[in-house]
Chain A
Amino acid sequence: MSVSDVERADRATPGLSPSMLVHAVVALGLIAWLNHRIAHAVPFSVKKIEQSYLIFYYHLPSALSCSIFFAIVLVGSIQVLRTGSAEWDRRAVVAGRVGVAACAATLASGSTWASAAWNTWWDWGDPRLMTAAIMFFTYAGYVLLHAQVEDPVRRRRFGAIYGILAFVNIPLTKYAIEWFGATAHPAELSNIATDEAIVITKSVGVLAFFTLYCLVYRWALQRERTKDRLRSVLTRVRAIEEGAAA
């Protein structure tokens, strides 16, 4: 492996490679299709919003996970600005990517379910749906910014700055949309689904999905660490080579 190999790999990896993007779209599409089928398979009598609890077993866990990962972005960003830590920067940006993926899964499952439950693919007036969509765009911007700044020190710092702005945007957006719109979501999740079996299933669902996302997170974080370590080794090798040449 030569220095230029790593540089090429490096250039290709900060965001998504085209083949990974295709992979992600196919996966998301399949989930959405499956979800849509399941939603329509539910007998008509239980399709009323109050009883369409089936979605909570995987839609809600994705939504919760994505919030947790966005919170990690905030913590990581603050740490980066305080200490300039490279490790917190990796944690933040990987959390951002996983969070965006979880957010996309939330939107896809929510939208397909809505088509069966509320008879519309996208409810423009629904605050939670809209807030999630805005979060998706904000954090996608965060991931993109992080990928596009070339200088590593500034990449870290700019990422952290937008990581903070993105989080600040969440409550503002939430209130703005809630104040100036109405919801189709069940008002209080705890009001429906009080049945013990449902609560257990829901909790297991949250746990299962969160564990799964965490696995992806750790996996991706490990990959970033390896990449950075490799880069540092190669920089040193190059310095030694140049030293020998001079």
Chain B
Amino acid sequence: MSGGLPATTETVVLADRLGKSYGERAALEEFDLTVHRGTCHGLCGPNGSGKTTFLKLLTGLFRPSSGSVEVLGLPIPRRAVEVRRRLGVLLDQPLVPHHLSLGEALRYMTDLHGGRIPRARSAALLDRVGLSWRRRDSIRTFSRGMAQRASLALALLPDPELLILDEPFTGLDPQGCALVEEVITERVAAGGTVILVTHELRRAERLCDRVSWLERGRLRRTTERGSWSAAEIEGVA
């Protein structure tokens, strides 16, 4: 991404009446969402509101029961492999074999991306997340916060056009939280797109250009930055 691009109206995520049900129970219903390039979009809601289900549909881990979703202009899950080249995902733990050392984990991730990532990038990322000194230790030995930092490095490795962060602040110390916030702002400024999933509405309000509020599998409202009053945030958060 070349820096300094203004936020365009180019659509990165387009969900159209998206739905997913397990047998009788609907985890997500009639979900419409548009995310533009160069923005940070927040997905908020209580536990079980369908945030994770939406992420799984977005990344092609689930097949939709109804409706459709496109990422970077390509239909999911049919062309998910192409999309995943341009996608970085941070979940609750690093999704690599935990016996690997951090350095190896980055090489493993590079291999999954077809070996196209220069080694200097891994080193720079390790510096960035402050884990260079633990490069040789296996991920199994990491604390919750350190594992989260490692996940961040792995998610950023392919320099993704779309970065998906699922509860990135869990287990992080204040410096770690500041780091994540910095990364988000930086990528958005550089024309990248971020989807931030969190149950912390306050933080989402501060970081995201738009915030979608989910409840029991349905999209309740999508708002521009600053639409939620302090009292409202207090009420739901």
Contact = CB atoms under 8 A, between A and B. Distances in A.
A and B touch in their complex, CB below 8 angstroms: yes
Contacts of A246: 216
A153 B23 contact: yes
B26 to A, nearest CB: 8
Which of B22, B24, B25 neighbours the largest number of chain A CB atoms within 10 Å of its CB? B24
Interface in A216-246: 231-232, 235-236, 242-243, 246
Interface in B1-37: 22-25
A151 B22 contact: yes
A243 B217 CA distance: 12
A152 B216 contact: no
Interface residues of A, number: 10
A140 B75 CA distance: 40
Secondary structure call for the B interface: loop
A231 B22 contact: no
Nearest to B46: A246
A199 to B, nearest CB: 49
Interface residues of B, number: 5
Contacts of B216: 242-243, 246
Contacts of B25: 235
Nearest to B217: A239
Interface of B: 22-25, 216
Contact of B24 (A235, A242, A243): A235
B22 A153 contact: yes
A243 B23 CA distance: 19
Nearest to B215: A246
A236 B24 CA distance: 8
Contacts of A242: 216
A188 B25 CA distance: 53
A243 B216 CA distance: 9
A132 to B, nearest CB: 34
17 contacts: A151-B22, A151-B23, A152-B22, A152-B23, A152-B24, A153-B22, A153-B23, A231-B23, A231-B24, A232-B24, A235-B23, A235-B24, A235-B25, A236-B24, A242-B216, A243-B216, A246-B216
Given A151-B23, A231-B24, A235-B24, 14 more contacts: A151-B22, A152-B22, A152-B23, A152-B24, A153-B22, A153-B23, A231-B23, A232-B24, A235-B23, A235-B25, A236-B24, A242-B216, A243-B216, A246-B216
Nearest to A236: B24
B178 to A, nearest CB: 35
A246 B215 CA distance: 11
A67 B23 CA distance: 30
A246 B24 CA distance: 20
Contacts of A232: 24
Interface in A122-172: 151-153
Contacts of B22: 151-153
Contacts of A152: 22-24
